[in-house]
A and B are shown apart, each in its own frame.
Chain A
Amino acid sequence: MKATNIKDPEYFHKVVDCQYACPAHTPVPEYIRLIARGRYTDAYMVNWESNVFPGILGRTCDRPCEPACRRGRVEDEPVAICRLKRVAADNKGSIEDRLPNIPVKKNGKRVALIGGGPASLTVARDLMPLGYSIDLYDDQTAGGGMMKSQIPSFRLPETVLNEEVNYILDMGVVTHFNTTVNSLKEILDKKYDAVFVGTGAPRGKDLGLAGQADAAAHIHIGIDWLSSVAFEHSSSIGKRVVVLGGGNTAMDCCRTARRLGGEDVKVVVRSPFSEMKASPWEKEDAMHEDIPIVDNHVPLAFVVENGKFIGVTFDRVDAVYDDDGRRRLVSTGKDPVLFECDDVLMAIGQENSFPWIERDIGIKFDQWGMPKVDETTFQSAIKNVFFGGDAAFGPKNVITAVAHGHQAAVSIDHFCHGKSVAERLAPGVTLISQKMGIHEWSYDNAVPIDLRYVVPQADKALTLKDRKIEVELGYDLKTAYAEAERCLNCDVQTVFEEIRCIECDACIDICPTDCITFTANAEEKQLRQNLTASATNLSQDLYVSQVLPTKRVMVKDEDMCLHCGLCAERCPTTAWDMQQFLYAVTKAGQ
């Protein structure tokens, strides 16, 4: 194999599994260390710079970082990254003086944001400090988009949401709430320098089953219903509720129904339980609230007898997999089963909807009615119109919307200044030794064996009575510290300098997880087998040195490295050093 080029920022970035997996590339270990040191405000700001909504995401993020967490490879559970973020948000001091200055003298460029959700707000957060004048349009009464209308208050209290939305709106964004944009052309006619479309995926899918028309009064589209609850248009539901769907919206629907009078609430899903789209922790929370999840049931019809809605019938199915692993749901042939209920909530997916974009003004659409948007620049076929969040490539999640927003802001800034929109500056990278002295490193390199700590919840009897009482209480500071210490500090990199190595083998002997091997070089496939512990996880790179005096190379399998620093500790010549790698995505104006 060729020697690894550690000067390429992406090499070490990939070693920081959580940060690499995060769409916004938040420097996770950096803020977890700050939490452990009790520097909550600093930890919050590290987050805020990167993901804009630490308090919101610390409660609601889809957590792509956690399945990636290295800790999950050496033991059962990853670090509770998401809930540690919440600790920073809950315990921070005032951050008013740390927010960016907004220039009084504007730069003369005007930007319109359509939709007031996370993507648009991120664009505003990045462009306001640069002197842009921004108009935000949204049909809701307040900012936040789906974070406000679809995430129930018992998961995300309004105060937390409003605080973080307001940090941005208070920068001087001109808001046009209660304003439905019915025509993109109208907006374009207002001669903005750039327009950003962050309208999400606002339309809930509809099943269109037999009997639906007759039972219409009892059948609700999940996200619309959640929204009407959030804006207090609905405050009750029948005692017996069937929720159709297996995603996180279904979980929010069933749990909200339990708080609005639903006593016998069940989730009925087509797929097997293990293949549901909902996050495992959201399924657990629903079941904890006495909501059974019935899997392998495909809805057939809404039953209305003598003008009265009775319930929903289902076909019982088995999941059958063909040779390619493709799943088919095959009827068991048993009689359909009827679930009696008073109301049905349909949470079977969302789609984009752009009836308000005229098809003749230059935006190109694909066969599925999605706008053609560049994946790097987020620019559409009209050069000054950009898309981001769910509106760009379909429904994802908040953190992805934030990542889109940052990149769209870079594009808009380039566009408005006549620079190439495609241009992207390299990320900001630092690599600094953490050695403080003999046996002393500036990070906690001990690796505790503590298992993941459970986040305490408020009493169910209490939370089920009021949809505004937050269920999760968050870690107390002592537990937060213990959980933070579980982090393996993957951003503190093992950096190898071959010129110093005397090949004494000390690092090989000390490495607890057998990551390091000195061996003859070979092709990657062969080399992976030749190591002390064979490197079977192909998603993790091998760190290969230049050829050493004995004609061997040092090969380190990044997969199982605990970043404990013992290789550097036992290295007599400091050929190994532990160096902190900070990777910051370059944002607009940087």
Chain B
Amino acid sequence: MSYKRPKFRHPDTEINDLGYARQDYEGALSTLCAGCGHDSISGAIVRACHELSIEPHRLAKLSGIGCSSKAPTYFLGNSHGFNSVHGRMPSVVTGAAMANRDLIYLGVSGDGDTASIGMGQFVHAARRNLNMVYIVMNNGCYGLTKGQDSATADEGSRSKKGDPNPFESIDLCALSVQVGATFVARSFSGDKDQLVPLIKAAISHHGFALIDVVSPCVTFNNNPDSTKSYEFTREHLKATGTMDFVPMREEITARYAPGSSHEVTLHDGSVIHLYKMAKGMDPLNRVSALNAMEESKQQDQILTGLLYMDPDSKELHEAIGTVSRPLNQLSERELCPGDSVLQNINESLR
């Protein structure tokens, strides 16, 4: 018997610009339940980071508590990691981002970790436009404690052996748009074609990027009465449109019919191509985004894809005017420049 991933890989496996194979972005073998949506999201993160040729040591993955927050063990095994306290991941990211603005911050959280215990932290990270990717592995239940309804469980949805949920659900995407997140998307663990470009765009985005990913819990919440099951999600998916992500250094090869595509250039020079957008949907417009989300909800549809983004976003460091060099690279002399400088400051404030 063995439960180890063999070392062999397909001989034609793709090597990225840094000379790494996808294998180099994998983590330990997952111990989540077989068929867990979280594993697919992990797979999508691995693919996105490999395709973006991210140097593993340039990325930090942070999480709170829950099945979702176990997941970072299962991807990016060569990156920095911090498994923090329940619901407190945003604070830890804030601290880390303040100390070293050069790293890419990837927060991984669940619906409990975000929408219940971590709600206070989550909205403030979004409001401050902290430069991070915040992925919610959203299964509508507390899988680690046997599947109780979470705050994102839809009203009327019933988990395995549960009663219909009597409460209104929290829509993390709508909430983030309202509190000031500058990149908001929703996706489904079973749709990598959509999820991978979204993760790439979120990493390239400058500011708070939320991706709320419906990620079915096969053990407790994949029954016919659940609105977070594989089957229900597939049947009720509705995409805002299709998105291609073209990193800055790559040539644009795809051809789009004139007028059918909308190009958005990101802070780092990458380009997002939006095409086949639903009628009246403009992801660069908050009102349009919120309307679309509300309309889909009325129609029992799960609206996925890029919902809202602000390409001119100003992230936290810009807002508070920190120095461009990471704080952790400043010497004591620079941080404590001495009495004469203090006197000068004091003088200027008199």
Contact = CB atoms under 8 A, between A and B. Distances in A.
Q: Find the residue from B3, B13, B192, B234 having the highest chain A CB count within 10 A.
A: B3
Interface string A511-547: 0111100000000000000000110100000000000
A571 B231 contact: no
A506 B2 contact: no
Q: Find the residue from A445, A502, A504, A573 having the highest chain B CB count within 10 A.
A: A504
Mostly, the B contact residues are loop
Contact of B222 (A449, A502, A509): A502
Given A439-B1, A550-B234, A572-B34, A503 B8 contact: no
A560 B4 contact: no
A564 interface: yes
A416 B148 CA distance: 74
A509 B39 contact: yes
Interface string B51-77: 000000000000000000000000000
Given A74-B11, A502-B222, A509 B5 contact: no
A510 B230 contact: no
Given A502-B230, A533-B13, A536-B12, A569 B34 contact: yes
Interface string B1-23: 11111111111110000000000
Mostly, the A contact residues are loop
B2 A513 contact: no
A533 B35 contact: no
Nearest to B7: A449
A436 B7 contact: no
Given A75-B8, A441-B1, A504 B43 contact: no
Nearest to B4: A446
Interface residues of A, number: 38
Interface residues of B, number: 33
Nearest to A571: B34
B349 to A, nearest CB: 57
Q: Find the residue from B13, B33, B35, B230 having the highest chain A CB count within 10 A.
A: B35
Interface in A380-435: none
Contacts of A449: 7-8
A315 to B, nearest CB: 42
Interface string A551-572: 0000000001010101001111
Contact of B5 (A505, A512, A550, A572): A512
B190 interface: yes
Contact of A564 (B6, B34, B35, B231): B6
Q: Find the residue from A506, A513, A566 having the highest chain B CB count within 10 A.
A: A506
B1 A504 contact: no
Interface of B: 1-13, 29-30, 33-37, 39-40, 42-43, 189-190, 192, 216, 218, 222, 230-231, 234
11 contacts: A447-B8, A504-B230, A505-B192, A509-B40, A510-B30, A510-B39, A536-B12, A564-B2, A564-B6, A570-B35, A572-B35
Given A504-B189, A533-B12, A533-B13, 17 more contacts: A439-B3, A440-B1, A446-B4, A447-B8, A449-B7, A502-B218, A504-B40, A505-B189, A506-B34, A506-B35, A506-B36, A506-B39, A510-B39, A549-B234, A560-B11, A572-B35, A572-B218
Which 4 pairs, one residue from A and one from B, show the smallest C-beta to C-beta distance? Answer: A572-B35, A446-B2, A447-B6, A509-B43
Interface of A: 73-75, 436, 439-441, 444-447, 449, 502-506, 508-510, 512-515, 533-534, 536, 549-550, 560, 562, 564, 566, 569-573
